[in-house]
Structure 1
Amino acid sequence: MSRYEKQDGRDAGTTSTDWASVAAAVPRGGFLPEGMWPFDMETRRSVYANRADDPAAWQRYADADVPIVTQWDDGKHEGTKPGRVGTSSVSMPSVVFRMLGDLQLDAGSRVLEIGTGSGWTAALMAHRVGDRNVTSIEVDEAVADEARRALARHGRAVEVITGDGCAGHPRGAPYDRVIATVGVRTLPWAWVEQARPGGVIAAPWGTHYSHQDAIARLTVSRDGRQAAGPFTGPVEFMKLRGRRLPFEGHAPYAAGMAEGSTSSSSVTETEFRRGRFGAPEFAVGLRVPDIVRRAGEKRNGGLPVWFYSLSDRSVACAMFRGGQETKVWQAGPRRLWDEVEAAYRWWGGRGEPDHTRFGLTVTADATRAWLDDPAESWLL
C-alpha cells in the first residue's frame, strides 16, 4: 500500500495496492513547477510554495494528499498571491488513483485523456499501459508545452495534443478508455463516439447548481448509441474551459426583484447544508434544471442562500438561521425555492441516497439521470 502524507497529519491518504508500484515509480513531485499553490488543509486556502526559497516545505506539499494549483486565470495571473480562478492544477493523489481504479486499465489499453495539466496522470497511465497507448489533450498551449517537457524528462513518449478536449482526438480512435481530469456539465458526445463498444469513460460530472462534481463511470453500449453507468463518489475539479458556467452574477436579476413574495419553510440550515460534498446538494442539482445556487456571508446569525434561474430571470433567497424556521423570498415565473424544496423532499423520501446510487445515461441528443434503476430516468 502506497501512502501520501496528509498535510494536517490526520487520516493519511492511500493509493490502492493495484497502483502502489506505479505511484512509487512516477512520483508527483517530478511533474510540479518550481512555484505552485498547494491547498493548505489547516488554513483552508491556497498558499504559495517555491522550491528555491524553501525546498523542504515544497517537498512536503508535493508529497501531501492535497490539490495544487499550477496556473491561475488562464495564465494571465502574475505574482505569488493566489489569483481569482484556478485554471490548471494537479489533483489530490487519492482522487487521481480513485479515478484510475475506476478505469480498470489493463496492459495495452488505449487511453484518451482530456486535460493533460502537469502530465502526471498521463505518465502514471503510460507506466501501466505503455507510452504509445496514451493520448492526452490540453487546451492551453503553455501548459501543454510544460507537460511535454516534464514527460520527456521522465522518459515518457506520450503524445500530447494542443486543442479543444471537447472534440476528443478522432485520428487515434477507437479508445478502450477515456478519462477527463476536468469537470463537465455536459458530456461531449465525441468522447462516446471515439470509445470502442464496451469501453469505459470516467469523467467528473455535475450540474450548474454548484461547483460539486461526481465521477461518472460510463460504459459504452455494444451498438455505440449510448454510454451509461453509476457515479462512484463526489469530487470537485476545475471546469472544462469553453464549457464554463454561463452565469452573469446577481446584477441581471435585480430589475425583477421588486415583484417578489415572501413565505417560510421548515427546511433548516442544519438539514439543507451538509458539507461541501453533501449528497442533498448533488441530488437537488439533478432534479432542478437550469439553476445556480450561491451562499452569501453569514451575518447576525443569518445565512442567505440565493438561487438563480438560467432559463429566465427568476430568483429566490432562503434566509437560514440555524435550526429555526427559514424565511423565503421568491420572484419571477419560476418559484425556485419551491422547486428546490420539492427536490430536497424527494431525496429524503427515497432514503437519502448518496452519490453512488445515482447514475447517468448519455446519448447523442440527450442526457438522463437516474436513481438505482436506469429504466426510471429523467431528462436533464
Structure 2
Amino acid sequence: MNDKELRARLVERLTASGQLRTEPWREAVSAVPRHEFLHGGFFREVGGSTPTAWTPVMRDDPRWLEGCYDDASLVTQVAGTVVPGDVRGEIMRAPTSSSTMPGLVVRMLEDLQVGAGHRVLEIGTGTGYSTGLMCHRLGDDSVTSVEVDESVSTRARTALGRCGFAPDLIVGDGLAGYEDGAPYDRVIATCGLLTVPRALIEQTRPGGIVLVALCGWLYSSELARLTVHEDGTASGRFLGGQISFLLARPPLPPPLGLLPDLDEGDERQAVLGADVMNDWNTRFVAQLAAPRAQHVGLTREGRTEHLFLDVDTGAWAVLREDGGQWTVRQNGPSRVRDAIEAHLTRWRGAGAPPLEQCEITLTSDQPVITWPGR
C-alpha cells in the first residue's frame, strides 16, 4: 500500500474506534502524512527483552512505511540524544522522545474543542505530527509549539516544512508556556505533567481550555480538561481512559541514589497492601497524594518489599507481607504511606467512583481533586 492508502486506512480505523469524531479532524488526518515526521526512522521494542531493548527501523526497511501508519506510539529518541540512525543492533536505554499514537493524538485534539479562529499553544512539539494536524485545521499563524530539546525541534521544523507548514516553533521549557504569544484560546500538553503549571493557566484566556495528561512517578495518568475562569482559577474533569505519555523532561524522577536504612522508622500494620497498586485507578488516586514518590520492588532476606521513596524530601515507606499480613515502616519528614492510605480510604469510602466523575479545581500549581460523596 502507498502512503495515501495507508492514511485512508488509518482514518477508517480511528473513526470506527470513536477517537476521530468530526470532519475537520478527519480531513487533517487524511491530508497530513505521518511518515514525513519519521524520516529519521523509529525504534521497535525487542520482544521479551529485560530490561527493554530497542532496535531501529529505518526508511530502507520494508516495514518502515506501514509502521508509520500503525496506531502506535513510535519511539524516536532514547537516552536524551540517541536517534535510530545512531544505532546498529540493539540499545537498552530509556525513551526520551516519541511520535504519540495517532488515536490518542486525535482524541486529544477532539477533546480540546478547537474552533475556527482559536489560537493554540502546544507543549511538546516532538516529531511535529500533532503540530501539523493543527496547522492544517487552524492555519500556521494560530499554532505555537514549545519543545525543550533543540535537536528534536529542528527535526520537527524540517518535517513541517516538507509538508508546507510554518507554525511558530519555540525551543524552551514548555512548563513555562510561551508568554510572548499569549493569551491563547487553547493549551494542550502532549507530554505527561506532574501538575498543571500556573503559567499555562495565566496564558489562557478566560473561558479558554487547558488539556493536559496528569501523571506521576507511580506511572498512572489521566487526561484532564480545565476551563480557565476570570479570577485566574481553573476547573474541570478527567476524561477517562487509561493513557500513557512520556513525562516532560524537567520532572524526570531523580536518581534513587543511596537507599535509606529500611530497618529504621515507625512500623505499624498497613491498612492496604502494595497489591492494590496493580489497579490503574487506585494507583492514580494514590499518586495524587504522593506525586513525587517512586515505587521500587526490592528483595531482602528472601522476601519482596515495596519501597515508596520521595527522593527530594527523603520521606519513605516500605511495605512487607508476612503470612498474608502487610506491615509498613516509614521515616523522613513526612509519612508517605499515611498520606496514600488516607487518600485511598476516602476515595473508597465514596464508592471508588470512576475518575471521570471527579472534579478538578486549580487555584495553585497542585490541583485539588474531589469526588461524589467526599
Q: TM exceeds 0.5?
A: yes
Alignment of 1:105-116 (within 5 A): 105-116=114-125
Structure 2 distance, partners of 1:167, 1:272, is: 32
The residue type paired with residue 344 of structure 2 is Y
Are 1:51 and 2:58 an aligned pair? yes
Contact 1:68 1:89 in 2 (8 A): yes
Q: CA deviation at 1:310?
A: 4.7
Unaligned runs of 5+ in 1: none
The residue type paired with residue 346 of structure 2 is W
Q: Which residue of 2 aligns with 1:161?
A: 170
Task: Summarize the Cα distance change of 1:157–1:335 in structure 2 as closer, same or farther, 3 Å threshold.
Answer: closer
Structure 1 distance, partners of 2:195, 2:338, is: 25
Structure 2 distance, partners of 1:359, 1:125, is: 28
Alignment of 1:108-257 (within 5 A): 108-208=117-217, 210-221=218-229, 223-233=230-240, 234-245=242-253, 247-249=254-256, 251-254=258-261, 257=262
The alignment of Structure 1 onto Structure 2 pairs a total of residues equal to: 358
Contact 1:49 1:58 in 2 (8 A): no
Q: CA deviation at 1:41?
A: 8.3
What is the CA deviation profile of residues 124-176 of structure 1, one whole-angstrom value per residue up to 9, with x for unaligned ones? Answer: 11111112211111121111111111111111122212222223222222211
Q: CA deviation at 1:238?
A: 1.8
Q: Which residue of 1 aligns with 2:284?
A: 282
Q: CA deviation at 1:94?
A: 1.6
Contact 1:65 1:93 in 2 (8 A): yes
Q: Which residue of 1 aligns with 2:4?
A: none
Relative to the length of structure 2, the TM-score reads 0.83
- Which secondary structure state, in structure 2, belongs to the residue aligned with residue 236 of structure 1? coil
Q: Which residue of 1 aligns with 2:3?
A: none
The residue type paired with residue 369 of structure 1 is V
Structure 2 distance, partners of 1:258, 1:279, is: 31
What is the CA deviation profile of residues 168-199 of structure 1, one whole-angstrom value per residue up to 9, with x for unaligned ones? Answer: 22222221111111211232222222211111
Q: Which is further off, 59-68 or 153-162?
A: 59-68
Structure 1 distance, partners of 2:103, 2:49, is: 20
Structure 2 distance, partners of 1:281, 1:137, is: 30
Relative to the length of structure 1, the TM-score reads 0.82
Q: Which residue of 1 aligns with 2:72?
A: 66
Are 1:33 and 2:33 an aligned pair? no
Of residues 13, 16, 19, the one that matches 2:20 is 16
The residue type paired with residue 63 of structure 1 is Y
Contact 1:180 1:204 in 2 (8 A): yes
Q: Which residue of 2 aligns with 1:341?
A: 341
Contact 2:189 2:211 in 1 (8 A): yes
The residue type paired with residue 16 of structure 1 is L
Q: CA deviation at 1:67?
A: 1.1
Are 1:295 and 2:302 an aligned pair? no
Contact 1:266 1:325 in 2 (8 A): no
Task: Summarize the Cα distance change of 1:303–1:24 in structure 2 as closer, same or farther, 3 Å threshold.
Answer: farther
Q: CA deviation at 1:309?
A: 3.3
Q: Which is further off, 232-241 or 63-72?
A: 232-241
Task: Summarize the Cα distance change of 1:26–1:298 in structure 2 as closer, same or farther, 3 Å threshold.
Answer: farther
Identical positions, percent = 35
Task: Summarize the Cα distance change of 1:35–1:99 in structure 2 as closer, same or farther, 3 Å threshold.
Answer: same
Task: Summarize the Cα distance change of 1:303–1:94 in structure 2 as closer, same or farther, 3 Å threshold.
Answer: farther
Structure 1 distance, partners of 2:291, 2:59, is: 47
Q: Which is further off, 226-235 or 133-142?
A: 226-235
The residue type paired with residue 48 of structure 1 is T
- Which secondary structure state, in structure 1, belongs to the residue aligned with residue 245 of structure 2? coil
Task: Summarize the Cα distance change of 1:4–1:38 in structure 2 as closer, same or farther, 3 Å threshold.
Answer: farther
Structure 1 distance, partners of 2:257, 2:347, is: 28
Q: CA deviation at 1:52?
A: 4.0
The residue type paired with residue 370 of structure 1 is I
- Which secondary structure state, in structure 2, belongs to the residue aligned with residue 16 of structure 1? coil
Structure 2 distance, partners of 1:312, 1:115, is: 28
Task: Summarize the Cα distance change of 1:333–1:105 in structure 2 as closer, same or farther, 3 Å threshold.
Answer: closer
